[in-house]
Amino acid sequence: MGSASSSYRVIHLDVDGRIQKVVFSRFCSPCDIKELFCTALGVPRNTNLSLLDSSGAMVSIDPTMPHNTERLPYRVVPMTGGQLADKEELFQNVLTQVAEQFSRAFKINELKTEVTNRLAMLEKRVELEGMKVVEIDKCRKDIKKLREEMASRNNSNFLEDTKKLTPRRDVPSYPKYHLSKETVKALRLPTFDAWQWEPNEMLSCLEHMYHDLGLVKEFNINPITLKRWLLCIHDNYKNNPFHNFRHCFCVTQMMYSMICLCSLQEKFTQVEILILMTAAVCHDLDHPGFNNTYQVNAKTELAVRYNDISPLENHHCAVAFQIFSQPDCNIFSNFDPEAFKLIRQGTITLILATDMARHGEILDSFKQKVDKLTTQMKSTSPV
């Protein structure tokens, strides 16, 4: 009997000055207990209630609420609309604060941004894939056309183009362009605009550089031979979008400006200056317009000839010295064999170094030499 009675709770309520006894099982839900209280109070069952003890403190309506007696009944107060609104507002404020703290803790905004960005990327990818499907036939036709073009190029022998390598004898065949003082001054600067000049004007500028650096006078270079050589150089640059004669001029002009601005003639010999300038002029001769990676993968004549080792750069060197082998284009004709051998070796070294596959290796070697030189300078400098 005692065990059965312990499973029930008895709560005394003050209903308008009248004591109402409410009995419920301790297994009842808070909602069931609240409906019992509403029935005792005579109000609709969905009415929100507040339960207050004798001191006015609110009591939670649930099976574990403290037991009371008839002398100390709980007072039940139906909640008005205003009280409900205040309570709801308070609840919303608490909920907002919890949401903000949750967002900060789990980086919800960052996660939303990342998800949005990834969805955008996926949408773009789907769009691109759709374009690829639409244009797949066109791509195949373009690839086939490119292969046919390269096959026709590979069937021609670069080094047997005697028409281009034959020097011109109608020198000077380009109009002599007289450089103004402003042009001469601008030519020494790295900001020189190479895009506004015609080929004959660029040839005159190159000719001026060799004279201005004292190379023509120092090595007794025949001015007519210099003109013929520059014309032959011009004819042996293909009309590519990038690796063309204007690119040759841009690189040589930048080398010329570095020699002038850095006073390299005070640090290098005139032979070394001649090698620097000539290597710049020749560094992309007869460039076919496709890089080394293509040459190797397509197994072109150049790649086969040079065993996949810098095929383009080796070809530029070969064309350059085939031009020099023509007496009317040999600006080195006054050098003895040993001096010419050094010039040839230096020019080849510089042109081969333009292979970007070797850039990291060359840059590391340069940094090591700079560090070594810096250490030597510090050890010899006075304290």
Look at residue 265 in the predicted model and tell me its pLDDT: 96
Q: What pLDDT, on a 0 to 100 scale, did the predictor assign at position 158?
A: 47
Predicted pLDDT at 98? 72
179, 187 in Cβ contact below 8 A?
A: yes
243 has catalytic annotation: yes
| pLDDT of 159 | 47
DSSP letter assigned to residue 284: T
The answer to whether residues 354 and 313 touch, using CB atoms and an 8 Å cutoff, is yes
CB 173 within 8 A of CB 231: yes
Amino acid 265 reads: Q
Given 234, 243, 287, 316, the catalytic residue: 243
Per-residue pLDDT of the chain (383 residues; tens, 9 = 90+): 444 456 788 888 888 888 888 888 878 888 888 888 888 878 887 788 888 888 888 888 888 888 888 888 988 888 765 555 566 666 677 777 777 776 666 666 677 777 788 877 877 777 776 666 556 666 667 666 766 665 665 544 444 444 456 555 455 555 556 889 999 999 999 999 999 999 999 999 999 999 999 999 999 999 999 999 999 999 999 999 999 999 999 999 999 999 999 999 999 999 999 999 999 999 999 999 999 999 999 999 999 999 999 999 999 999 999 999 999 999 999 999 999 999 999 999 999 999 999 999 999 999 999 999 888 888 876 65
Quickly count: other Cβ atoms within 10 Å of residue 1's Cβ.
Answer: 5
Q: Residue 144 belongs to what H/E stretch?
A: helix 108-154
The string of pLDDT tens digits covering residues 156-191 is 444 444 445 655 545 555 555 688 999 999 999 999
Whether residue 287 is annotated as binding a ligand: the answer is: no
Tokens 């007869």 belong to which residue?
286
**Side chain identity at 220, as an amino acid letter?**
N
Q: How many CB atoms lie within 10 A of CB 78?
A: 15
pLDDT of residue 1: 44
Distance CA 149, CA 288 (A): 12
Could you tell me if 110 and 47 are in contact, meaning their C-beta atoms sit under 8 angstroms apart?
Answer: no
Is 247 a known ligand-binding residue? Answer: yes
Whether residue 226 contacts residue 329, with contact meaning beta carbons closer than 8 Å, is answered with no
Distance CA 380, CA 43 (A): 103
DSSP 222: -
- pLDDT, residue 82, reads 54
Structure tokens at 109: 């905004």
- Each as own residue / partner, the long-range contacts of residues 289-295 (CB below 8 Å, 24 or more positions apart, any chain) are 289/238, 289/240, 289/241, 289/243, 290/150, 292/355, 292/357
Domain 171-352 has CATH 1.10.1300.10: yes
Burial 221-258 (b: 16+ CB within 10 A, else e): beeebbbbbbbbbbbbbeeeeebbbebbbbbbbebbbe
Structure tokens at 309: 């080792």
**Separation in Å, CA 64 to CA 183, 264, 288, 307, 370:** 99, 96, 91, 91, 83
Closest CA to 285 of 240, 236, 235, 330: 236
CB-CB contact of 158 with 301 (8 Å): yes
- The neighbour count for residue 192, using CB atoms within 10 Å, is 19
Residue 308 marked in a binding site:
no
| Model pLDDT for residues 75-132, shown as the tens digit of each residue | 888 876 555 556 666 667 777 777 777 666 666 667 777 778 887 787 777 777 666 6
Peptide bond into 190 cis (omega under 30): no
Query: Tell me, what's the pLDDT at 191?
Result: 95
- Write out pLDDT tens, residues 282-295: 999 999 999 999 99
User: Which of left, alpha, beta for 356 (phi over 0: left; psi -120 to 50: alpha)?
Assistant: alpha
Domain chopping of the chain, boundaries: 2-79, 171-352
Report whether the peptide linkage leading into residue 73 is cis, meaning its omega lies within 30 degrees of zero: no
Q: Quick one: which of 262, 267, 260 has its CA closest to 373?
A: 267
Topology classification of domain 2-79: Ubiquitin-like (UB roll) (3.10.20)
Is-contact 350 313, C-beta < 8 A?
A: no
